[in-house]
Amino acid sequence: MMGRVLRLLLTAFLLLTATTLSAQLTDESRAYYERWVSTADRAEEVIKANRASQAAFEQLRAEVRTYRDTFNRVRGENSDRIKTLEAQIAALGPKPADGETEAEDIARLRIHLNDQLAKLTVPRIISEEAYSRANGLINEIDRIVRARDTKELLKRGPSPLNPEHWPDAWKDIKQAMTALSNEVAFNMGSDVVRERLKTNGPGILLLCVVGLVFLARGRRWSERAGDFLRSLGGLGTGVWSFVVSLLRILIPWIGVMFLVQSVEMMDITGLRGALLLEQVPYWAAAVLYFNWIGRQVYLFNASNGFQHLSQSQVRVTRLCVDLLAVMLVLHDLVVLFDRLENISEPTRAVTGFPIILMTALLLLRLQRVRGQAQAKGGTVDGSETGRGGAGFSRMVGFLRRALYLLGIASPLLAVVGYNNASEALIYPAVKTLALIAALVILQRFLTNVYGWLTRKGDEARDSLFSVILGFLLAILALPLLALYWGAREAELTEIWSRIMMGFDIGGVVISPSNFLTFALVFAIGYTATRLLQGGLRNSLLPKTRLDPGGQNAIVAGTGYLGIFLASLLAITMAGFDLSSLAIVAGALSVGIGFGLQTIVSNFVSGIILLIERPISKGDWIDVNGQMGYVRDISVRSTRIETFDRTDVIIPNSDLISGSVTNYTRGNTVGRVIVPVGVAYGTDTRKVEAILREIAEAHPMVLANPSPNVVFQRFGADSLDFEIRAILRDVNWALSVKSDMNHEINRRFADEGIEIPFAQRDVWLRNPETLTGGAAATAMAAIEVDVDRPASQQPATLTEVDMNQGSDDEN
């Protein structure tokens, strides 16, 4: 009781508010609003009674939807003007409190602005209220219609196997056929029809002849057209074969249309005949369409999952596909029979059951053909299905199992009386299979066109274009699938309207129009940025005195700035309110503080590298033991190409916080050190002079500062020298070392200067323990050692010397 009172008070309040606000509308707007209120009240009464028919509810829903679209458009008008007026009023400051005075000009301006704001705000308030009401009424109507459809779908009727219903069904069928033939006979005997046949006889005869010619010669004409198209190019891609297959169904269908038109010109059909004649083009299209699917799938090999079929299996499968089209036509004929004759439920069940049973048997036969193909060598894995892969094979396997289940379940449901549920399962399944096959064929055709245009041929079937195309075709097919499986056009239209209105996410309305605007503006900005980068990199910057590193920094900075501006402009043009993302930005900052520290550090380090340029593109650097040339500096990392021709990715933070050796920063001048050792007793001044001559003679060594030769140390085996020279290009350091070493070896050989090598002798403390072969080997080694020249004889150590060495160590 209390809830009803509150509801009445709320309704009275809303009506009072709407009446007050509508008083401020124009006469035309007020009249429109009054008509809407009348329609809404009537809709609420109809919904409450819940006695109207489905057609009445659909008509009422269409009226309410028209009003809702109008209110939705009005509530979004003048938004910019309202924001401007609100900003102007805010600029005037708060209104003075009671007892305080305000300047006359400001008070007058405030009143004027408030009046303008009220004139613009009142329609928006009324439209918002009316839109909400209309939206609620549409939802209630949809809920009622869906409940009725569900109830009708699950309603149990008479069983078609009950013999009591067969005589009545046969009687109804004979009466319908008799009524149709009587209508035709009556019209044929009419003087008006005879006169019309005499008048339109030549035209009717011409249409009949043309229609028959199109039916008889359509196949040959399509093949001739295909021969002409193939002469244009694209042989082997299957493009023109697909076009020819379309012509093979289009030309006969045109012939059917000519024949239907000729019969209509005769005007010999009554109401029943006219309705049947209207459906003939659709039935002919269905038969030709299924025949086209069978020809494409098996003769043109459009589906890679059906490659292991014999010729007899191909013929059986094509026959099953054609008969499925016939079953759909017969089902439509039964539906039309029910609508024309208003037959009883038993008759409807009896006439529809044979078609359901035959359709189920055909589906089971298709599943059996596929199973036989697998038993003969075809599998459902990627190894046997060719380019289709395992994904397509899994889909084929799922469809086979679905066909098997539907082929069993649908007749059983019809037998127990659920005729509506049986028809709602089996016929949409057939249409779905036909649609999927058509999508696969269309995807292959468009991929072939792409391969032809890009000269990729069959490789285009494995390209990204083919995958994206298949995804888009699947998305476009969803509305058709929804209609096949019982969705109403009004529901699909409602979903589309909701999508077009957008979704509110965090105060930001995202709609397809906003998203497309954002994508288009960003794509234009991104393309312009890339073009500007290309112009700077290839045309403008090479003509300046900037080094390659500076040029790369300018190009990279231009890219980052351009992408940022393109994103900002795209967001602004799309109408997204960035202030609504403050909470999201706050949460993102917390996430950055905890989990994205490294990424942000690398990003900031990349910006520092591009601005300060401690290293540049093309520099030879050494960082953490990795030595190579800098090939690219991005926001997150820097790519170094080592001397082994491998790429090393180094985070930018390591380059900023770590120790980096840059061998070519600013210029390529650098020092090379070439070490060499000579034997003891060699004239050191002579060695120094030779090395200096070698260094000064090399073309890569700078004369100023002149190269220097250093007597470094007395080594364990040699006198150690070093050539220290400054090269004009340090990148050639290894080549210079190699050239100098070759020249040193040649000059030392000419001058008789020896380059010693380390020698070590091994003495045995107790050789008497060696016996047999080991002793012989030791004695042979001693003999060889004795035969050495005196200069190469090792120093002889006695046992006393060895003991002294041991005492010293101790």
CA 499: distance to chain centroid? 19
Q: What confidence score (pLDDT) does residue 676 get? A: 93
- Which residues are 258's β-sheet partners? none
Q: What angle do CA 260, 266, 267 make, to 5 degrees?
A: 95
pLDDT reported for residue 524: 92
> 3-state DSSP call for residue 212?
helix
Question: Angle at Cα 459 formed by Cα 454 and Cα 464, nearest 5°?
Answer: 80
**Other beta carbons less than 10 A from residue 321's beta carbon:** 23
Residues 6+ apart with CB under 8 A from 602: 635, 636, 637, 651, 652, 653
**For residue 388, what pLDDT band results from cuts at 50, 70 and 90?**
very low
Lowest mean pLDDT across 249-253, 462-466, 638-642: 462-466
Residue 203 has which token pair? 């035209």
Q: What is the pLDDT of residue 7?
A: 45
Q: Mean pLDDT throughout 381-389?
A: 41
Integer Cα distance of 405 and 398 in angstroms: 11
799: left (phi over 0), alpha (psi -120 to 50) or beta: alpha
Architecture of domain 670-751: 2-Layer Sandwich (3.30)
Q: Are 164 and 350 in contact (CB under 8 A)?
A: no
> Could you write out the DSSP letters of every residue in 105-155?
HHHHHHHHHHHHHHHHHHHHHHHHHHHHHHHHHHHHHHHHHHHHHHHHHT-
Give 357-372 pLDDT, tens digit per residue: 999 888 888 777 655 5
- pLDDT higher than threshold 50 for residue 154: yes
The CA–CA distances, whole Å, from 163 to 346, 347, 732, 767, 807 equal 10, 11, 103, 120, 125
Q: Are 751 and 690 in contact (CB under 8 A)?
A: yes
pLDDT digit string (tens) for 302-332?
A: 344 445 566 677 778 888 888 999 999 999 9
Q: What is the sign of the dihedral through the CA atoms of 544, 546, 552 and 558?
A: negative
Rounded to 5 degrees, φ, ψ at 622 are -135, 115
754, exposed or middle or buried, with CB in 10 Å at 0-12, 13-18, 19+?
middle
Instruction: State yes or no: pLDDT of 263 exceeds 50.
Output: yes
Residue 415: alpha-carbon gap to chain centroid: 46
Contact 616, 549 (CB under 8 A): yes
Q: Angle, nearest 10°, between helix axes 389-415 and 419-454?
A: 160
Among all chains, which residue has been given the structure tokens 């996430």?
A: 591
Structure letter (DSSP) for residue 537: I
Q: Determine the Cα–Cα distance for residues 507 and 799; give it in Å rounded to an integer.
A: 98
Q: At 532, list the tokens.
A: 């500007």
CA distance 501 to 84: 24
Exposed/middle/buried for 305, CB within 10 Å: 0-12, 13-18, 19+?
buried
Q: Are 678 and 703 in contact (CB under 8 A)?
A: no
H or E stretch at 510: strand 508-510
Is beta strand 670-678 parallel, antiparallel or unpaired with respect to 660-662?
A: unpaired
**CATH fold for the domain made of 596-666:** SH3 type barrels. (2.30.30)
Residues 6+ apart with CB under 8 A from 724: 671, 672, 673, 707, 708, 709, 710
Environment class of 616 (CB within 10 Å of its CB; exposed 0-12, middle 13-18, buried 19+)? buried
Beta strands at 637-642 and 708-714: parallel, antiparallel or unpaired: unpaired
| Helices and strands (H, E) in the chain, number of each type | 24, 10
Assign 393 to helix, strand or coil: helix
Between CA 446 and CA 462 the distance in angstroms is 13
Rounded Cα distance between 378 and 306, Å, is 8
Tens-place pLDDT, residues 462-514:
777 888 888 888 888 888 888 888 888 888 887 887 777 766 665 566 777 77
Which tens digits make up the pLDDT trace of 671-725? 889 999 999 988 999 999 999 999 999 998 988 888 999 999 998 888 999 999 9
Check residue 303 and report its DSSP letter: -
pLDDT at 561 over 70: yes
- Cβ atoms of 339 and 276 within 8 Å: the answer is no
Instruction: Assess contact for 800 and 808: CB atoms under 8 A.
Output: no
Q: Which of 195-209, 386-400, 458-472, 523-537 has the lowest mean pLDDT?
A: 386-400
pLDDT category, 24, cuts 50, 70, 90? very low
pLDDT beyond 70 at 284: yes
Report d(CA 44, CA 46) in Å as an integer: 5
Percent of the chain with pLDDT over 90: 9
Residue 487, CA distances (Å) to 58, 156, 491 in order: 14, 21, 7
Helical H segments across 613-732, by residue range = 652-657, 684-697
The DSSP secondary-structure symbol of 386 reads G
Phi/psi zone of residue 93: left (φ > 0), alpha (ψ -120 to 50 degrees), beta?
Answer: left
Give the Cα separation of 754 and 543 in Å (integer).
54
Task: Return the exposure string of 254-270: e unless at least 16 CB atoms fall within 10 Å of the residue's CB, then b.
Answer: ebbbbbbbbbbbbebbb
Q: Is 437 within 8 Å of 297 (Cβ atoms)? A: yes
Give CA–CA dist 522/13, Å, rounded. 48
Does this model's pTM top 0.75?
A: no
Percent of the chain with pLDDT over 70: 79
C-alpha 147: how far from chain center: 37
| Measured CA angle at 113 (ends 112, 114), to 5 deg | 95
In this prediction, residue 739 has a pLDDT band, given cuts at 50, 70 and 90, of very high
Element (H, E) at 650: strand 647-651
Reduced to 3 states, what is the DSSP secondary structure of residue 383?
A: coil
Radius of gyration of the chain (CA): 46
State the Cα–Cα distance between residues 805 and 795, nearest whole angstrom.
15
pLDDT at 328: 92
Q: What CA–CA distance (Å, rounded) separates 348 from 169? A: 8
pLDDT (0 to 100) of residue 738:
92
Residue bearing the bigger pLDDT, 335 or 780: 335
> Rounded CA gap, 56 and 46, in Å?
9
Q: Mean pLDDT of all residues in the chain?
A: 78
Task: Look up residue 92 and give its amino acid.
Answer: L
Q: Which two tokens stand for residue 616?
A: 């540049």
Whole-angstrom CA distances from 345 to 405, 421, 470 are 26, 14, 43
Q: Quick one: the chain helix, strand, coil %, rounded to 5?
A: 70, 5, 20
Q: Count other C-beta atoms under 10 Å from residue 202's C-beta.
A: 9
